[in-house]
Structure 1
Amino acid sequence: MKPYSLILFDYDGTLCDSRQAILATFPPTFAHYGVPVPPLAELEAVVSKGLVMGEAFQVLNPALSIDEVNEWVTTYRAIYDQDAYRLVECYPGAKDLMEHLVEQGKHVVVISNKGIRSIETSLDYLGLTPYVSLILGDGSPLLRGMPKKPSPESYTKVIQPHFDLHSGNSTLMIGDTSMDLQYANNCAIDSCWATYGFGDPEACRQLLPTYEISSLLQLKEVIP
């Protein structure tokens, strides 16, 4: 174990259980455009890959143009932000863990491909915002023009300078999908796979995470 000082959390499937909120938002989005909703198994498959929502809609409805994809994402997020965020729950022990990390002098960052407004609304609603030093998501001004995870740019160009880090030795990324673990590998930082989340186990194991946890509370055993 290393004395990590900076802890990066993915949001969906890692810090918060948003599966029902995500799945509940797909049907009204498809209905808005008069398009049949794909089978539940297909919806769950795109969730398990940790795709950006635009990529998810390209998989679920390949006939969409780029402009149409962007429009669908806007509609999806409007529906999600209006009602579905109330379906999100913290994973057990999330608040206690965050409080513990801050008391230990750690900096906590939430880094996600989810829309920034949705993340901020949810963290406020769940009472987690006071423990987070930096929140980064799709639409964050700090990330404007940058590729999303698993590109390392959000880490090397935003997170490292923000915390005045000269190497990744003191940083740990916690995530549930292969997207998160690949992000950690690309950033040359240690990773912790949250096996309780949405990710595909085979894809995640292939990326050789530094640690595995089956619950958030187990993270206390990883971070001294």
Structure 2
Amino acid sequence: MTAWSCVLFDLDGTITDSAAGITATLAHTLEVMQRPVPSPAELLAFVGPPILDGFAALGLDPAQSREALAIYRERYHERGAFDSSVYPGIEEAMRAIAATGVPLALATSKPETQARRILDHFGLDDLFTFIGGASDDEARSEKADVVSYVLDNLIALEVDVSNPVMIGDREHDVHGAAANGIPTIFVEWGYGSDIEKVGSIAVADTPSDLPVFISRGTPEPPVANAAI
């Protein structure tokens, strides 16, 4: 077994249950823009991926998406950011991993400034060697780009990135990490569907599984067949 040299965590759906704040802010944004508002269940699909991808999927062109982004950001900063909670057991799991000396980093498609604010609000910012996310202008928002950015910063901080692992709840985490040669441990308590597990190397049913997986090092082969 090869020990993991560092662990990259997703935020929404992995550390925080943030759906309520995000979906309410999306609904508000679409209402202001006089666009159809999907059902709350349908809006869940937009929790986690880059927000501009979500606007495009809702039929907004680039100019409309930029307008929507401004509306969304203002509302989310004021009311949505803290309409969330930390998943039970995840802080304990992360602290258990950190206590073994394995560095933790955040790699989220949420704007980095907002991610830092949220982690500080919940008293979790001290856990991370580096907190990385999307740029405010969304030029860096795709998960692969965020992961690359986080790795670069960890290297600058002299963290060993020879054998990193990603922990996340959506296919964007799996694919974005894989684009950087990094495997993903998929978590069941987030917003991803069964098909999104494909390509992950392990599936954590509860946060308490994570310290076990990390202590074991490289687990079994990737999950190649998930229920469709």
Name the TM-score class by shorter chain.
0.7 to 0.9
1:149 and 2:143 equivalent? Answer: yes
Partner SS for 1:87: coil
- The 8 Å contact of residues 54 and 69 in structure 1, kept in 2 or not, is answered as yes
Match of 1:212 among 200, 203, 212: 203
Offset at residue 161 of structure 1 (A): 4.1
The CA distance in 2 between the partners of 1:86 and 1:146, in whole Å, is: 23
What is the root-mean-square deviation of aligned Cα atoms in Å? 2.2
Which of 109, 112, 118 is residue 116 of structure 1 equivalent to?
112
The equivalent of 1:11 in structure 2 is 11
Q: Distance in 2 between matches of 1:137 and 1:155?
A: 8
Alignment of 1:1-224 (within 5 A): 1-47=1-47, 50-60=48-58, 62=59, 64-139=60-135, 146=140, 148-151=142-145, 153-155=148-150, 157-165=152-160, 167=162, 169=163, 171-205=164-198, 207=199, 209-224=200-215
Distance 2:213 2:161 in 1: 22
Distance 2:190 2:177 in 1: 17
* CA distance in 1 between partners of 2:170 and 2:182 (Å): 16
SS of 1:105's equivalent in the other structure is: coil
TM-score by length of 1: 0.85
Distance 1:211 1:122, change over 3 A: same
1:155 touches 1:187 (CA, 8 Å); kept in 2?
no
Q: Using a 3 Å threshold, how does the CA distance of structure 1 residues 29 and 96 change in structure 2: closer, same or farther?
A: same
Work out the CA distance in 2 between the residues paired with 1:187 and 1:75: 33
Q: 5+ residue gaps in structure 2?
A: 216-228
Identical columns (%) = 26
C-alpha deviation, 1:41, in angstroms:
3.6
CA contact (8 A) 2:142 2:176 kept: no
Q: Does the aligned pair in 2 maintain the 1:2–1:223 contact within 8 Å?
A: no
Q: Is the 8 A contact 2:22 2:76 kept in 1?
A: yes
Q: Structure 1 residues 82, 166: CA separation in 2 closer, same or farther (over 3 Å shift)?
A: closer
Distance in 2 separating the partners of 1:103 and 1:90? 20
Question: What one-letter code is carried by the residue in structure 2 that aligns with 1:187?
Answer: N
